[in-house]
Amino acid sequence: MEFEMARTAASTKDETIDDLHAQIATLKSDIAILTSTVKDLGIEKKDNLSAAASAGAEILKMKGQAAMHDAQVTAKKAAEQAETTVRENPAAAVGIAAGVGFLVGMFAGRR
């Protein structure tokens, strides 16, 4: 009877060790799957952020180009208006230019 108990105890011990090995193998597999999933999520997140940054940069570029175009149009209109005003009132234009030159000369001379 003692021999059977010893054999049963040894058999149970072997089964427990085999179960532990199987559980460890399962855990290793699960960890590998989780690691791969986290890596894939990180890559996807990076790609999404990169795409969003590119789209944002493109929008800002387009807004900058539109603002530059508007500024060019406004500057061209102002130059045309100034030219028209000078042609219509040459004496006033010369007087204003002389006054501005005098003021610039005074401020520059104080330094």
CA 2 to chain centre: 75
Calculate ∠ Cα 59-67-72, nearest 5°: 145
**Residue 57: strand, helix, or coil:** helix
Are 12 and 19 a contacting pair, CB within 8 Å?
no
Over residues 32-74, the pLDDT tens digits come to: 999 999 999 999 999 999 999 999 999 999 999 999 999 999 9
**Predicted local confidence at residue 39, as pLDDT:** 95
Query: Which tokens go with 27?
Result: 């855990």
Are 93 and 86 a contacting pair, CB within 8 Å?
yes
93: Cβ contacts below 8 Å, ≥ 6 apart: 85, 86
